[in-house]
Amino acid sequence: MPVRGSIQIDDMYCKGCELCVAACPQHGIALAMDVLTPRGYHPARLVTENCTGCQVCGIVCPEAAITVFRQAKVLARGG
């Protein structure tokens, strides 16, 4: 069943290294150039609705700044 995912990025830990940007198979992450974290970095943000919750970004992040959420997608309901 197709799944839909989402991520949350903790700006306290993100250091803008872009490893997650390069790793996301959906090309769904970008740095927010208009935001600065408390540590002075541009943080990563989810910029697509195509996130599948594959967890690749969470695995590659060296700061463990990404939490991945995943849920089954309801495509249609029978009647």
Q: Using CB under 6 A, list all residues that contact ligand SF4.
A: 5, 7, 9, 14-20, 24, 26, 28-29, 44, 46, 51-57, 60-61, 63, 65-66, 68
The token pair that represents 2 in the structure block: 């197709």
Nearer to ligand SF4, 70 or 79 (CB): 70
In angstroms, the CA 69 to CA 5 distance is 5
Q: Nearer to ligand SF4 by C-beta: 35 or 68?
A: 68
Q: Which is nearer to ligand SF4, 12 or 74 (CB)?
A: 12
